[in-house]
Structure 1
């Protein structure tokens, strides 16, 4: 597959803010909403550089309160580190973008993870299906992982993350 990032750079590059993260019980449009892992007002940013480097951070807002007793993270209690760390998703790395050949209009992203909250992701790919839309002059993207999330009990859910472009 050919990397088409250059072709889509103007649309992709910039700062995106997370407006929703929802998990469904099936992949298609008939899926039933199961959860909102980061609540009704999730916090998240994706920054994509002009050269195709992606950095993503997502956090559950409720885990950020109460505030830590100090600005020095190393002074946080183990309970505070666990409370925040379990609700944090981060990764960064160069991305490739491919056009799907099924006329869906979706793009396939492959980010080669160089750094992440989960060391098991490093050196591997995070792959997403991306669809773009424009509403009132504002650009939105919807990202879906290509594989379901498998829970401890074996059930599977499919994530849908909606982002709004907020800066170049």
Structure 2
């Protein structure tokens, strides 16, 4: 009997939880403009606006399950040299893939990225919806753009466009 009660409780929880997942999916679908971006360095707890105080970018979530990100640092200028062109890679991040929601996180199976190391990986992001704001926290990892800073995570805020 206790196994049956446990099964009933689990099924009840799943039924209760499913609408909130569906609701979050509906709320996240759309175009989101980047408001702020910084990294938190795990070793020190220090936060840095590595893309500057006014980064630019967008996140787009489709109803079909695709997400696309393009994020760029402030003050980017057209390159004058091959070295300038290479340096531009450190002031951007871009990727796309199919995503799925699991509670307070989404997982993207990356199929295209500015950094080939991300292609074929799953990128996990934690999120919180607050009205027209989407707060995003990455997992702790070494970001290719700032590998010299060690383990870090990104803290981003997006605002839904109208």
* TM-score, normalization by structure 1: 0.74
Tell me the alpha carbon deviations over residues 56-113 of structure 1, each in whole angstroms, 9 at most, x when there is no partner: 0111121x22x35xxxxxxx741232132221111000000011xxxxxxx1110000
- Tell me, which stretches of 5 or more residues in structure 1 are unaligned? 69-75, 100-106
Tell me the residue number matched to 2:83: 79
- Tell me, which stretches of 5 or more residues in structure 2 are unaligned? 1-13
The offset of 1:32, in angstroms, is 4.7
Tell me the residue number matched to 2:129: 132
Are positions 1:113 and 2:110 aligned together? yes
Summarize the Cα distance change of 1:33–1:93 in structure 2 as closer, same or farther, 3 Å threshold: same
What is the alpha-carbon distance in structure 2 between the residues aligned to residue 88 and residue 152 of structure 1? 14
* TM-score, normalization by structure 2: 0.76
Are positions 1:146 and 2:139 aligned together? yes
Tell me the residue number matched to 1:71: none
Aligned mate of 1:46, from 59, 75, 97? 59
Which entry has the higher C-alpha Rg, 1 or 2? 2
Give RMSD over aligned pairs.
2.8
Are the aligned partners of 1:5 and 1:52 in contact in 2 as well (CA < 8 Å)? no
Does the residue aligned with 1:10 lie in a helix, a strand or coil? helix
Higher helix fraction: Structure 1 or Structure 2? 2
